[in-house]
A and B are shown apart, each in its own frame.
Chain A
Amino acid sequence: MEAAAIHEREQEKLAARPKSRALRLPRQVRTGLLYLSLWIAFIWAVFPFYWMIATSIRGKEEIFQRPPSLLPHTVTIQNYVDLLVGAQFWRYAMNSLILTLGVTIISVLISVTAGYAMARHRFKGSVMLPLFMLYGQMFPPVLLLIPFYVQLRFLGWLDSLYGLTPVYLSYMLPLCVWLMRGFFSQVPLSLEDAARMDGCTRWQAFWKVILPMARPGIVAVATWVMIHTWNEFLYASTFILSEKKRTLPLGLSGLIGQYTTDWGVLMAGGVITAAPILLVFFFLQRHLVSGVGGGAVKG
């Protein structure tokens, strides 16, 4: 029985071999095809980004010229000047900055001890809590949106940055704790033992030895929170009502007019909103990729 099966597979392999030989292309052609597909993927991924920049540096007439040309004929910074001269954009940027810093600091402070305790200590709920945190991240925002609205209205916190902070924590904190736990469980246990042997209290061992060791992980989590808070749109657009409390993404979407939209200025705003994120990302690429990919999945 088994022999027959092997025999069959052997036959199949033999039959398949010449065919695959015939299909095998010469080395140069294969490499050429590889690079061709890489370029196609690259252009597909980068083109909208290019188009945003290209639009932002064109003159007003050229933007609405038909047919549109791939390369800008004239380069101007007029759109950026128009955008930055008004006080609104600065105010949006300031709001975004305040909110991002506040949410990041609070969520890192709270998640750092929780993540550590979950990774290191056995206590009632030390198995269930992390899973619960992961669940917390998966709830559909739309289900939380309504009770948040009712609550913020009740407290009179609608249309304020401090009202948005707890809302953002609901969206950030659970995954922060989960990621932190992942990072702390990678710090070797023996380090803590050594510190305790040398007479540190448990808190000192955590504060002076473990925390500095886990710094790359903490930086990754903090960056992750910053990026998400900076980009968030749904909650901000629902709970922020007045123009001067708007965050950057909200301000950008507000530039879309009912009938006409100044796409040059809008795209300039897009470039400026995306720039800090892109900078952070390309500086910390390694940390973030392993943090989000590894930490989230592997735990």
Chain B
Amino acid sequence: MTPRTLPGRTLRNTWSSVFETGWGAHAYPYLMVLPAVVVVIGVVVYPLASGIITAFYDVTLRTLNSGSAEFVGLRNFERVLADPAFVQASVNTVIWVVLNVVVQLALGLALALLLHRAMPGIGFFRSGILVPWVVPSVVAVLTWRWMYDPSVGIANELLVRLGLIDNYHPWLGDTSTALYAVTVESIWKGTPFVMLLLLAALQLVPRSILEAASMDGASGWRKLWYVILPQIRVSFAIAAVLTFILTVNNFNAIWLMTEGGPLNSSEILFTLAYKYGFKRFDLGMASAVATMLFVGLVIATTVYLKLIQAREGD
């Protein structure tokens, strides 16, 4: 194809002509990604590597000041594993993650199905249901903490009025309910995002498939199980992995409501690592816990990326 204008001669020379030919052209894409790559290496890759290395050193505030940390091999991991708080936190993390993921996905799917229809006023409901997702997480957590107040909290009052409990209960102060009370807040906060992802997926399900299913006499539930769910399964899996990652990393909810207490009853691995690091200032132990969490998350992330690639291949 012949260019319509003659190149070079008719053009005003600008500084950016350097990138048109030769080395300039070759370097151009690299120069464009360079700032991002440099920053990411500086603020993600390097800290990550040094964080993992810290797990094998004895790093405390004292050794930080003197600048000589001692290599201790796996001793940080041994100390962590021997700590009863770690066992408790692991159990709590499993409960916390399973409850959050299962309930958020179930509710998110139900809400997405509910909102995926043309009805008068549906926009109003959709906006309202997205509110928890939009409210800043610190604000949301503090509001829930206030609602759980043991003496004048509205949650207690509503539950009493509904006849579900007889007396006001200190939900966050009781070792048997603290973790679950925080879970309720986290479900409230996280479900709208799941709903959003699944709603987007539902809108991509071709109408013709649903109509064909109706013609064949499939009832609502069968249509959901045999037609809709297989169509959105990849989005559903993506939502599951994302929820998993967000839940494992949900620090604000637990920290601002209970700080992991009372008596470690709502401690998860994340808050435990934080306590090791910034209450006890034993950065080696904190890094050991964080590294274990990291391995779990890398596995989840790998699954996530595989799913995305599968979807792009579709």
Interface residue ranges, A against B (CB under 8 Å) = 13, 16-17, 20, 23-24, 34, 37-38, 41-42, 44-46, 48-49, 51-52, 55, 63-68, 70, 109-111, 113-114, 116-118, 120-123, 126, 129, 131-136, 138-151, 153, 166-167, 169-170, 173-174, 177, 197-199, 201-204, 230-231, 233-234, 238, 249, 252-253, 256, 263, 266-267, 270, 273-274, 277-278, 281-282, 285, 289-290, 292-294, 297-299
Contact = CB atoms under 8 A, between A and B. Distances in A.
Given A113-B35, A278-B134, A51 B154 contact: yes
A222 to B, nearest CB: 16
B188 A285 contact: no
Interface of B: 3-5, 7, 10-11, 14, 16-17, 19-20, 25, 28-30, 32-33, 35-37, 39-40, 42-44, 46-48, 50-52, 54, 59, 64, 111, 114-115, 119, 125, 127-132, 134-140, 142-147, 149, 151-154, 157, 160, 188, 192, 196-197, 200, 217, 219, 222, 235, 238, 245, 248-249, 251-252, 255-256, 270, 273-274, 277-278, 283, 286-287, 289-291, 293-294, 297-298, 300-301, 304-305, 308, 311-312
Nearest to B286: A146
Contact of A233 (B4, B252, B286, B311): B252
Contacts of A277: 134-136
Nearest to A201: B16
B contact face: mostly helix, strand, loop, or mixed: helix
B20 A142 contact: no
Contact of B33 (A45, A113, A203, A298): A113
Contacts of A38: 114-115, 125
Contacts of B114: 34, 37-38, 41
7 nearest CB pairs, A to B: A203-B16, A114-B36, A117-B32, A121-B29, A170-B43, A249-B138, A147-B47
A45 B195 CA distance: 12
B4 A198 contact: yes
B48 A177 contact: no
